[in-house]
Structure 1
Amino acid sequence: MSVRRLMGRSTRKPVASRALCVAALAAAGALGGCANPAADEALVAQTALIGMPKETLLSCAGVPERQATVDNRDFFTYRSSRLVSYPSPPPIGYYGGWGWPHYGYGYGWPSYGYEVSSFDCEATFSLRNGVVERVVYGGATGGSARLGQCYAIVQNCMALIPQQTIKPAP
């Protein structure tokens, strides 16, 4: 017999510890489900587009919104933005009309307004000797919302990059 059994101690983990582990795994899975694939691709593009010739960049991303040349380095800046609007939830409460008060939602077409979200990205490509050297993202929107909008800029160029395939082990 083991020393723990002789002393009356169990070698099993407490049930609360197991429940905590299961809850942590469930939370991690739920957060992983909220991932933004466009944001992931935009991050990949920052390294995948390095080495792309200037002519190819101009053909897939188009004419930049701004450009500058300093010494032997070109800077091409592209901008992408979009507005998303959706109705705000209706007010709930007491409404009266024509002598017949009732509870619930308001009458007719929503008069409670709309909520607007703005997403924007600014991507600056640094080119040296006619080849992409660096890609930097910026913009007022933060996090994965901005990166998702950045993907709109690099999407056509990423289609030109050969996809890496994983070869099975022999």
Structure 2
Amino acid sequence: MKSGRARRLLSVASLGIAGALAGCANQAADEALLAQTALVGMSKETLLSCAGVPQRQATVGNQEFFTYRSSRIVSYPSPPPLGYYDTWGWPGYGWGWPGYGYGWPAYGYEVNSYDCEATFSLKNGVVERVVYGGTSGGSARLGQCYAIVQNCMALVPQQTIRPSP
């Protein structure tokens, strides 16, 4: 009996965690993934007008490669270590001047760097493929890639979902 109840509680907890993680989805990353197919077929002129001048450009035969970069650095206060300490290492509460007593946080800043490199392959003046790269991983990189393609995505007609008859 206890094991059945424990399984139900575990199932409910799992659903709650899954729901919480789904709520944290990165909309910019989703849009960047969509851009990899939505921008195929875009003309070179339109690409240059919405994405701007590429950082690098190469031509091989009738194929061109335009590479764009986007990066940002984000910093925010890191949480204090367990407990709260003044400048002498004693637990401190209240306010004070740095180095002169209680109240100044003994912690620093967490710094994150996000970057993306998007390379557009064009054949005969039309986008054939969009490839993302960079040192950031996962949705962090894709979210940064959206900064490159967002103006172009605004030019792509939105597909409407038609109800089935």
Equivalent residue, structure 1, for 2:85: 93
1:70 is aligned to 2:65: no
Contact 1:75 1:125 in 2 (8 A): yes
1:152 offset after TM fit, Å? 0.2
Matches within 5 A, 1:8-157: 14-90=4-80, 92-93=84-85, 103-104=92-93, 107-108=96-97, 112-157=107-152
1:54-107: per-residue Cα shift (whole Å, max 9, x none)? 0000000000000000111100000000111122345623556xxxx8633773
Amino acid at match of 1:61: A
Contact 1:83 1:119 in 2 (8 A): yes
Equivalent residue, structure 2, for 1:3: none
Amino acid at match of 1:126: S
**Among the aligned pairs, what percent are the same residue?**
72
Task: Give the alignment partner of residue 160 of structure 2, picking from 133, 148, 165.
Answer: 165
RMSD value, Cα: 2.3
Contact 1:122 1:137 in 2 (8 A): yes
Secondary structure of the 1:156 match is helix
Distance 2:33 2:63 in 1: 23
Secondary structure of the 2:24 match is coil
Count of aligned pairs between the two proteins:
154
Task: Give ranges in structure 1 of 5+ residues lacking alignment.
Answer: 1-12
1:164 offset after TM fit, Å? 1.1
Distance of aligned partners of 1:65 and 1:164 in 2 relative to their CA distance in 1, 3 Å threshold: same
* Higher CA-based Rg: 1
Instruction: Tell which deviates more after alignment, 36-45 or 83-92.
Output: 83-92
Scaled by the length of structure 2, what TM-score is found? 0.83
Distance 1:62 1:114 in 2: 34
1:40-60: per-residue Cα shift (whole Å, max 9, x none)? 000000000001000000000
